């Protein structure tokens, strides 16, 4: 049986052996149009990050024909290069650190991730992201150190204790998890060293780690087709994708009332959301609710551009976010799978010093005084992204960022500081080493501070303004 967006609720319940999952859709008489609009807005804000995350997980670990496919679930895939404009699955990818990726299916048993020892000065992290897009934990230089170890990642149904040889047990709220490995690349000729470290990363089921027989395999999941990024913005089918994902997310006690409210319009684990059963007024109300969510996000984006809200507010654990679902949506839209602020900060240049949006038809500079370089323990970078795609920018010199490892080649100013040139055309031979090429149209620039210093976390270090030049 192949699941479509219409019939997945019944089919997936059979495939997974789940019980008690209702398939009742919303009835036009259940709620008024005004109530449906309000609930749809709330459910869309709640669910958009999960739907967009599912799109990426499907590309990475399910759809073998997708050019972004990394490998099957529970198999670690190393990417021995940095990202380029050809990588299009994830918005605002970094191009500083070669990635390794793993999609964890934790339904049958936990998976053990083993990390080798490495140089003290080399930064690495394994970011663990659940289906809600919460960064629920890390394995990293900053906390677990560079001495290596084995870390057990357990799903919500596993109640065991740490077995012998396991450094730490890390528990996930959801049955599927994304593991994102970042290994610092010091310079281009350091890539072979990174490859050696990647080859020593290890992932194995708990039974294999202990040398014991494997438990019974979890029943196969017939994953439904995701929506495209453009469809996710307007199609009510987004709620069917959300319903599918929610089946792998045991309800959190803090969301009991929320889920009861969502159920009024057919949103919930195992439910079917079918626009064909809705009255025209209710159907219109659902679409209006989705549009209302984007209005709220646009208002929040203004606060982000004004630096009243930072990336550190939008990304992190459930406890850190305090169930602020609009913040979680903004984190997904602006940079899904971004790090929590203690691991990395992302000061964004979306407007210039006069508050005007950035565009490649103009030229810009950003100046760092000698004692005001980005405050990062590991490294920093400035990366260019074209809009609205938020992807890396193809350019004649194949340069997508400026970062700490490039310091020796930058030309310093008379005061010993650095001026970077952000524009579409070369600023000239004398300045080209400090040039970050922009597209011809709209763009933004994201600064990254990996392992930020205290002065970055407490706000005493501030990013310099981005100035438009004549």
Distance CA 376, CA 107 (A): 38
User: Beta partners for 204?
Assistant: 112
Distance CA 350, CA 59 (A): 29
Residue 40 pLDDT? 98
User: Beta partners for 348?
Assistant: 446
Distance CA 138, CA 198 (A): 17
- What angle is formed at CA 160 by the lines to CA 156 and CA 161, rounded to 5 degrees? 120
| Tens-binned pLDDT, residue by residue, of the chain (470 aa) | 233 343 333 333 333 333 333 334 444 447 899 999 999 999 999 999 999 999 999 999 999 999 999 999 999 999 999 999 999 988 899 999 999 999 999 999 999 999 999 999 999 999 999 999 999 999 999 988 999 999 999 999 999 989 999 999 999 999 999 999 999 998 888 999 999 999 999 999 999 999 999 999 999 999 999 999 999 999 999 999 999 999 999 999 999 999 999 999 999 998 989 888 888 999 999 999 999 999 999 999 999 988 899 989 999 999 999 999 999 999 999 999 999 999 999 999 999 999 999 999 999 999 999 989 999 999 999 999 999 999 999 999 999 999 999 999 999 999 999 999 999 999 999 999 999 999 999 999 999 999 999 999 999 999 999 999 97
| 446 φ, ψ (degrees, to nearest 5) | -110, 125
Residue 357 pLDDT? 96
Residue 10 pLDDT? 31
Distance CA 202, CA 75 (A): 9
SS (H, E, C) the chain: CCCCCCCHHHHHHHHHCCCCCCCCCCCCCCCCHHHHHHHHHHHHHHHHHHHHHHHHHHHHHCCCCCCCCCCCCCCCEECCCCCCCCCCCCCCCCCCCCEEEEEEECCCCCEEEEECCCCCCCCEEEEEEECCCCEEEEEECCCCCCCCEEEEEECCCCCCCCCCCCCEEEECCCCEEEEEEEECCCCHHHHHHHHHHHHHCEEEEHHHHHCCCCCCCCCCCCCCCCCCHHHHHHCCCHHHHHHHHHCCCCCCHHHHHHHHHHHCCCCCCCCCCCHHHCCHHHHHHHHHHHHHHHHHHHHHHHHHHCCCCCHHHHCCCHHHHCCCHHHHHHHHHHHCCCCCCCCEECCEECECCCCCECECCCEEEEEECCCCCCCEEEEEEEEEEECCCCEECCCCCCCCEEEHHHHHHCCECCCCCEEEEEECCCCCCCCHHHEEECCCCEEEEEEEEEEECHHHHCCCCCCCCEEEEC
Residue 276 pLDDT? 86
How do strand 168-171 and strand 176-183 relate by DSSP bridges? unpaired
Contacts of 105 (CB under 8 A, 6+ apart): 73, 74, 175, 176, 218
Instruction: Give me 93's structure tokens.
Output: 């990818």
Residue 292 pLDDT? 98
Q: pLDDT tens digit string along 180-216? A: 999 999 888 899 999 999 999 999 999 999 999 999 9
pTM of the full predicted structure?
Answer: 0.87
Radius of gyration in angstroms for the set of CA atoms belonging to the chain, rounded to a whole number: 23
Residue 275 pLDDT? 84
Q: Average per-residue pLDDT in the chain?
A: 92
- CA dihedral sign, ordered 146, 147, 150, 154: negative
Residue 263 pLDDT? 95
Other Cβ atoms within 10 Å of 414 Cβ, number: 5
End-to-end CA distance of the chain: 62
């Amino acid at each position: 049986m192949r699941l479509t967006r219409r019939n997945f609720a019944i089919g997936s319940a059979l495939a997974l052996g789940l019980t008690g999952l209702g398939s009742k859709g919303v009835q036009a008489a259940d709620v008024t149009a005004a109530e449906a609009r309000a609930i749809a807005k709330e459910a869309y804000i709640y669910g958009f990050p999960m739907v967009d995350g599912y799109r990426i997980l499907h590309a990475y670990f399910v759809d073998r024909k997708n050019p972004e496919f990394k490998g099957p679930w529970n198999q670690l895939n190393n990417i021995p290069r940095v990202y380029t404009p050809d990588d299009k699955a994830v918005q605002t990818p970094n191009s500083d650190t070669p990635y390794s990726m793993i999609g964890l299916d934790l339904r049958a048993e936990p998976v053990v991730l083993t990390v080798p020892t490495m140089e003290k000065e080399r930064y690495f992290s394994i970011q663990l992201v659940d289906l809600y897009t919460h960064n629920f934990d890390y394995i990293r230089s900053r906390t677990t150190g560079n001495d290596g170890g084995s870390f057990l990642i357990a799903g919500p149904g596993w109640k065991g204790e740490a077995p012998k040889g396991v450094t730490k047990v890390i528990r996930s709220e959801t049955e599927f998890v994304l593991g994102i490995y970042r290994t610092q690349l010091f310079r281009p000729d350091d890539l072979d060293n990174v490859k050696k470290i990647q080859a020593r990363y290890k992932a194995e089921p708990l039974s294999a780690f202990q040398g014991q027989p494997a438990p019974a395999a979890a029943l196969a999941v017939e994953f439904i087709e995701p929506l495209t990024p453009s469809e996710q913005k307007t199609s009510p089918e987004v709620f069917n994708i959300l319903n599918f994902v929610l089946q792998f997310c045991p309800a959190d006690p803090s969301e009991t009332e929320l889920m009861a409210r969502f159920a009024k319009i057919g949103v919930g684990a195992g439910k079917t959301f079918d626009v064909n059963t809705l009255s025209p007024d209710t159907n219109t109300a659902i679409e209006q609710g989705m549009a209302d969510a984007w209005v709220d996000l646009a208002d929040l984006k203004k606060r982000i551009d004004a630096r009243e809200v930072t990336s550190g507010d939008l990304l992190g654990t459930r406890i850190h976010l305090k169930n602020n679902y609009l913040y979680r949506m903004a984190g997904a839209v602006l940079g899904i799978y971004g790090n929590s602020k203690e691991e990395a900060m992302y000061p964004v240049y979306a407007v210039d010093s006069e508050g005007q949006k950035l565009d490649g038809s103009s030229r810009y500079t950003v100046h760092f005084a000698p004692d005001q370089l980005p405050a990062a323990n590991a490294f920093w970078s400035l990366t260019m992204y074209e809009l609205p795609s938020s992807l890396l920018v193809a350019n004649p010199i194949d340069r997508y960022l400026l970062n700490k490892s490039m310091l020796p080649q930058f030309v310093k100013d008379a005061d010993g500081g650095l001026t970077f040139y952000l524009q579409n055309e070369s600023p000239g031979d004398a300045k080209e080493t400090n040039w970050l090429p922009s597209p011809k149209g709209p763009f933004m620039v994201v600064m990254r501070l990996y392992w930020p210093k205290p002065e970055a976390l407490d706000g005493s270090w501030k990013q310099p303004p981005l100035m438009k030049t004549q």
